[in-house]
Chain A
Amino acid sequence: MPDQTSGPSDDAEPGGAPRHAHHRHEDRPEPDVVAPDVAATDEVSDETVQDETVGDETVGDEDEATPEPATPVAPPQPFLPGGSRFTPAAPSGTRRLWNAVTQKPDGGQVLVAVLVALLGFGAVLQVRADDDALANARRDDLVQILDGLRRQADRLDDHVAELESDRRDLVSGADTEAAALEQAQERARSTGVLAGTIAASGPGIILTISDPDREVNAYTMLRAINELRVAGAEAIQMRGGGNDEAVRVVASTAFENPRPGVLTVGGKELEPPYEIVAIGEPGELTGSMTFANGVIASMEQDGAEATVDEYDDLTVDVLHEPQPPQYARPAPEDGDDE
């Protein structure tokens, strides 16, 4: 504070004033001597407050300050018992306050009012802005908060990585499962082709046997089927052109002649001409039928006529109805499966 007058009075107002008050109060234990003096000064300053002239005000202030050098004499008996320390001898503080509040307003108070209004405004703003904790946090606190958040983010990242790896495992597991399902379905299809439970198509041959005298017996037929299997036939069906019965030839299909001239295949009686459809490599299948002293040769010896035709695309569409095994059941597996 460079200003001479405002410097000490600024000090005297909020912080320095306790000294004055103290000394004044200390003076009071001797009411006879000092109190009138104090009362007089208080009276004067009160009056100046009422009058509200700056010059008088500072004079009053100085008046308050001037007793200060003299006071060191007083302190030897500051704490006399029974002294009425806080009983003001002048108009009481409450009355002064009341006077100040109710006095006629003047121009000097406007500036005070503006400042106090600013204080109220700022305080309310600050109280309302305090909702945002981060905005008012100091740098250290921010660093700490940031650190905490970073740690939390790290933990969450770890969590995310964990979950992602779980997800990868599950997805790959699902893929494996799907692949296994695909494989199983593929196996079921091929097994179905072998077992005769589903239709099959592909290149192959048709062996047509016209047997007007019904001389071709079950043994010869079984031999023909066996030769076809040797040549790699994968699906075989046999049709009796005479009664239009057809049989899918599978592992359990039996050939028999219950009576001479009657051929039953898989429990169905077939009448000539027979037509055997076999799916496999056509050349091999044909070769298996036509080799010297082979199936066709022996059939022709029996008086039948057999011809082989190769086709690029044949369909074996007669289905075998599998019976659940009555006696055989899967043997207990040793060790790991299959």
Chain B
Amino acid sequence: MIPIAGLVIGILAGFVFDVSVPLELQPYLPIAIVAALDAVFGGIRAVIEGIFNDKVFVVSFIANVLIAAFIVFLGDQLGVGSQLSTAVIVVLGIRIFTNVATIRRHIFHA
């Protein structure tokens, strides 16, 4: 219940406060969001499978975001930022699809 309320509050806060993203963080925010989405879907799946652990979720959430941002940062330093961010997006996207597919099977049995 609290996480759902947190999500709603976060979205509302995003609409209410017009905060501009710091320039240095701008390239990493989209990747970080996708990584966080991956962690969130993984968490939902863990809940459904009964193995959810909030400590694991917090650690994996933060680690996902940091690693994704770091990979993009590294790619930017190496001059392959766009390719590496594409790679990260692809990997995270596959994971999200897998997790959502499992959630779907559990909920709809199909």
A residues near B (Cβ < 8 Å) are: 1, 3, 6, 9-10, 12-15, 17-18, 20-21, 42, 45-46, 48-49, 52, 54, 57-58, 60-61, 64, 86-88, 90-94, 96-97, 100-103, 105, 108-126, 128-129, 135-136, 138-140
B38, B48, B55, B95: which contacts A6 (Cβ < 8 A)?
B55
A12 contact set on B, CB distance < 8 A: 51
Cβ A138 vs Cβ B10 within 8 A: no
Contacts A15-B95, A124-B11, A126-B21 hold; do A113 and B6 have CB atoms under 8 A apart? Answer: yes
B54 contact set on A, CB distance < 8 A: 52, 108-109, 111-112
A14's nearest neighbour on chain B, judged by CB, is: B42
Task: Tell me the complex Cα distance, A88–B36, Å.
Answer: 28
B73 contact set on A, CB distance < 8 A: none
A-B contact count (CB 8 A): 208
Cβ A115 vs Cβ B36 within 8 A: yes
Cβ A126 vs Cβ B30 within 8 A: yes
Cβ B7 vs Cβ A96 within 8 A: no
Cβ A135 vs Cβ B26 within 8 A: yes
A128 contact set on B, CB distance < 8 A: 14-15, 18
B32's nearest neighbour on chain A, judged by CB, is: A122
27 contacts between A and B (CB under 8 A): A13-B51, A14-B45, A15-B42, A15-B98, A17-B46, A17-B102, A54-B53, A60-B51, A61-B53, A88-B106, A88-B109, A94-B106, A97-B48, A97-B107, A109-B54, A112-B58, A115-B58, A116-B7, A116-B10, A119-B10, A120-B8, A120-B10, A121-B11, A124-B11, A124-B13, A124-B14, A125-B14
B15, B47, B106: which contacts A124 (Cβ < 8 A)?
B15
A60, A97, A140: which contacts B44 (Cβ < 8 A)?
A97
For chain B, which range describes its interface: under 10, 10 to 19, 20 to 34, or 35 or more residues? 35 or more
Contacts A122-B33, A135-B26 hold; do A96 and B49 have CB atoms under 8 A apart? Answer: yes
B89 contact set on A, CB distance < 8 A: none
- Least distance between B10 CB and chain A CB atoms (Å): 3
Cβ A45 vs Cβ B19 within 8 A: no
- Least distance between B96 CB and chain A CB atoms (Å): 8
